[in-house]
Homo-oligomer: A and B are copies of this chain.
Amino acid sequence: MTEPTTAWTMTSHSDVLELWRKQVDAKLETCLRSQPESRLRDAMAYSLLAPGKRVRPLLAMAACDALGGEAVHALPAACALEMIHAYSLIHDDLPAMDDDALRRGRPTCHIQYDEATAILAGDALQTLAFETLAEAPVRPLDVVRLLRILARASGASGMAVGQAWDMEATDQAVDLDTLQRIHRHKTGALIQASLEMGGIIAGADETSMARLGQLGKHLGLAFQIQDDILDETADTATLGKAAGQDRAHNKSTYVRLLGLSGAEHKAQDELTGAAHCLKQLAADDRPLACLVDQLARRAR
């Protein structure tokens, strides 16, 4: 028997990620089934169980694994993160917000159901996120730490205020600093929280927690820049949602501020920073590195 090559290991890591993705989907379904049957629950399931990359859950599980924990212990936190993400998509798509009719290749929640149901489905998914977090198989003290991280990353000091600033910035000339501040909150905070929550579940020390936070900052920014690039360059069928929406809504994006090639360079810089963090975490050869690599390849 020879040692597995790096290529082999990466294939194996991507199998592991695929397994985790299935575990996340199964757990999301179980969480929903614990709620009483209702049209509301159907609408929650419609959006939450729609095929997706499960980026945030996988980041939490992979970070937990990379820091020496059992990935499966991160499942409740992973699902909580996906529920927060799903609720934010439902509400972002509403007519009063981005007014999108298509998401992940299917009608958005308020199109498939109705606006009132979509508002409530988003609300109840946020609640279910916190309920699910309470199941995390860690010391109660660590559940409380997870609770704090998730809440701060998603509310008026995180995702929600990022979304609010983003709306205010529409039709306005916005500089790079402001754009970064918006996205650090709107998308970055939850990405960073995903990694940190995985770290807490693994019982990571403070140094590792800080490195996970740094990794999250790089990844969050890289993904947002990629989204901006894809919105400009990909078509609706590839995206699974309407393309060209940023331009249509006159939104400030990295592509508008830096040009396409400038944005691509900036994304690459962030990914290089992420690779450095992975090395510091001694996670180069863990599923976490494979996941980061998969996500980085979206932009190419």
A interface residues, Cβ below 8 angstroms from B: 34-36, 38-41, 44, 87-88, 91, 94, 96-97, 114-117, 119-120, 122-124, 126-128, 130-131, 133-134, 139-141, 143-144, 147-148, 150-152, 154-157, 160-161, 163-165, 167-168
Please report the C-alpha to C-alpha distance between residue A197 and residue B156 in the assembled complex, in whole angstroms.
25
What residues on B are CB-neighbors of A130 within 8 Å?
130, 147, 150-151
Please report the C-alpha to C-alpha distance between residue A105 and residue B123 in the assembled complex, in whole angstroms.
25
Contact yes or no, B97 A155, CB < 8 A: no
- Which of A38, A39, A154: most chain B CB closer than 10 A? A38
| Stoichiometry, copies per complex | 2
Q: A39-B168, A148-B134 are in contact. Are A127 and B156 (CB under 8 A)?
A: yes
Contact yes or no, A126 B128, CB < 8 A: no
Contact yes or no, A119 B140, CB < 8 A: no
Please report the C-alpha to C-alpha distance between residue A160 and residue B39 in the assembled complex, in whole angstroms.
11
Please report the C-alpha to C-alpha distance between residue A115 and residue B94 in the assembled complex, in whole angstroms.
10
What residues on B are CB-neighbors of A39 within 8 Å?
164, 168
What residues on B are CB-neighbors of A154 within 8 Å?
127
Please report the C-alpha to C-alpha distance between residue A154 and residue B161 in the assembled complex, in whole angstroms.
23
What residues on B are CB-neighbors of A41 within 8 Å?
156, 161
Shortest A94–chain B CB gap in Å is 7
- Checking B38, B144, B156, B161 against A156 with a beta-carbon cut-off of 8 angstroms, the contacting residue is B38
Contact yes or no, B134 A38, CB < 8 A: no
- Can you list 10 A-B pairs with a CB-CB distance of less than 8 A? A41-B161, A96-B115, A117-B167, A120-B163, A123-B160, A127-B160, A130-B130, A130-B150, A134-B151, A140-B140
